[in-house]
Structure 1
Amino acid sequence: MDRRSLLRTAAVAGSTAALGGSLWRTAAVAAPAQPGAGPYGPPGPADANGIRLPAGFTSTVIARTGRKVGSTGYTWHPAPDGGACFATEDGGWIYVSNSEVSPGGGAGAVRFGAGGDITGAHRILDGTRRNCAGGSTPWDTWLSCEETDRGAVYETDPRGREAARRRPAMGLFKHEAAAADPVREAVYLTEDEPDGCLYRFRPSTWGALSAGRLEVLTMGSGTSGPVGWSAVPDPAARRTRTRHQVAAAKHFDGGEGCHYAAGHCWFTSKGDNRVWQLDCAANTLDLVYDDDLVRQGEDAPLSGVDNITGSASGDLFVAEDGGNMEICLITPQAVVAPFLRVEGQSGSEITGPAFSPDGKRLYFSSQRGVGGRSSDGITYEVSGPFRGR
Structure 2
Amino acid sequence: MDRRALLRGTVIGAGAAVFGGSLMRGAAYAAPAQKGPGPYGALQAADANGIMLPSGFTSRIVARSGQQVGSTGYTWHPAPDGGACFADGSGWIYVSNSETTPGGAGSITFNSSGQITGARRILSNTRNNCAGGSTPWNTWLSCEEVSGGYVFETDPKGVNAAVRRDAMGRFKHEAAAADPVRKVVYLTEDESDGCLYRFIPNTWGNLSAGTLQVLKAGTATSGSFTWANVPDPDGSPTTTRSQVSGAKRFSGGEGCHYANDTVWFTTKGDNRLWQLNLSNNTYELAYDDSLVSGGGAPLTGVDNVTGASSGDLFVAEDGGNMEICIITPDDVVAPFLRITGQSSSEVTGPAFSPDGKRLYFSSQRGTTGSSSGGITYEVTGPFRA
Please say if 1:301 is aligned against 2:298.
Answer: yes
Counterpart selection for 1:336 from 326, 333, 336: 333
Find the counterpart in structure 2 of residue 366 from structure 1: 363
State the Cα distance separating 1:337 from its structure 2 match: 0.4
CA distance in 1, matches of 2:149, 2:62: 30
Match of residue 135 from structure 1: 133
Give the aligned partner of residue 73 of structure 1.
73
Please name the residue that 1:47 is paired with. Answer: 47
1:17-59 deviation digits (Å, cap 9, x = unpaired):
xxxx667526454200000000001111000000000000000
User: Which one of the candidate residues 314, 332, 341 is aligned to 1:317?
Assistant: 314
Structure 2 residue aligned with 1:274: 272
Q: Deviations over 1:290-337 (max 9, x none)?
A: 011111x33100000000000110000000000010000100101000
Query: How many Å apart are 1:265 and its aligned residue?
Result: 0.7
Whole-Å separation in 1 of the counterparts to 2:295 and 2:147: 38
- Does structure 2 retain, via aligned residues, the 8 Å contact 1:235–1:242? yes
Query: What is the distance in 2 between the residues matched to 1:224 and 1:381?
Result: 36
Q: Which has the higher mean CA deviation after the structures are superposed, 363-372 or 237-246?
A: 237-246
CA pair 22-61 structure 1, distance change in 2 beyond 3 A: farther
- 1:376 offset after TM fit, Å? 0.1
Q: Deviations over 1:258-286 (max 9, x none)?
A: 00111111000000000011112321111
Q: Secondary structure at the match of 2:359?
A: strand
Q: Who is 2:18 aligned against?
A: none
SS at structure 2 position matched to 1:237: coil
Query: CA–CA distance in 2 between the matches of 1:265 and 1:22?
Result: 14
Asked if the contact 1:29–1:288 (Cα under 8 Å) also holds between the matched residues in 2, the reply is no
Number of aligned residues: 365
* Change over 3 Å in CA distance of 1:22–1:363 after alignment to 2: farther
Q: 25, 32, 47: which one pairs with 2:8?
A: 25
d(CA) in 2 for partners of 1:251 and 1:48?
43
TM-aligned CA deviation for residue 247 of structure 1: 1.2
In the TM superposition, what whole-angstrom CA distance separates every residue of 1:108-133 from its partner, at most 9, and x where no partner exists?
A: 00000011110000110001000000
Aligned to 1:147: 145
Partners in 1 of 2:238 and 2:205 — Cα distance?
29
Quote the sequence identity (%): 70
One-letter amino acid of the structure 2 residue matched with residue 355 of structure 1? F
C-alpha distance in 2 between matches for 1:159 and 1:72? 14
- 1:245 maps to amino acid: Q
Aligned partner of 1:95 in structure 2 is 94
Q: Secondary structure at the match of 2:236?
A: coil
8 Å CA contact 1:22–1:313 kept in 2: the answer is no
1:1-389 correspondence to structure 2 within 5 Å: 25=8, 27=12, 29-89=29-89, 91-102=90-101, 104-295=102-293, 297-388=294-385
Alpha-carbon shift at residue 225 of structure 1 (Å): 1.2
The whole-number CA distance in structure 1 between the counterparts of 2:115 and 2:6 is 32
Distance in 2 of aligned mates of 1:25 and 1:353: 24
* Aligned-partner SS, 2:96: strand
Matched to 1:180, the amino acid is: A
Q: Distance in 1 between matches of 2:306 and 2:289?
A: 19
Give the CA deviation at 1:87.
Answer: 0.1
SS at match of 1:292: helix
The answer (yes or no) to whether the contact 1:321–1:349 under 8 Å persists in 2 is yes
Matching residue of 2:23? none
Query: In structure 1, what is the Cα distance between the partners aligned to 2:289 and 2:365?
Result: 25
Q: Secondary structure at the match of 1:212?
A: strand
Conserved in 1, the CA contact under 8 Å of 2:5 and 2:329? no
Any idea what SS the aligned residue of 1:25 has? Answer: helix
- Tell me, yes or no, if the aligned pair for 1:23 and 1:332 is still in contact at 8 Å: no
- Secondary structure of 2:365's counterpart equals coil
Contact 1:134 1:145 in 2 (8 A): yes
What letter is aligned with 1:92?
Answer: G
Q: Secondary structure at the match of 1:243?
A: helix
Cα distance, 1:22–1:100 mapped onto 2, change above 3 Å: farther
Contact 1:22–1:312 at 8 Å: present in 2 too?
no
- Partner Cα separation in structure 1 for residue 213 and residue 138 of structure 2: 24
**CA–CA distance in structure 2, aligned partners of residues 65 and 31 of structure 1:** 41
- In the alignment, structure 1 segments of 5+ residues that lack a partner are 1-20
Counterpart position of 1:4:
none
Q: 1:23 to 1:348 in 2, by over 3 A?
A: farther
Letter in 2 for 1:77: H
- Report how far residue 65 of structure 1 moved: 0.3
RMSD after superposition: 1.0
What is the CA–CA distance in structure 2 between the aligned matches of 1:331 and 1:69, rounded to whole Å?
Answer: 34
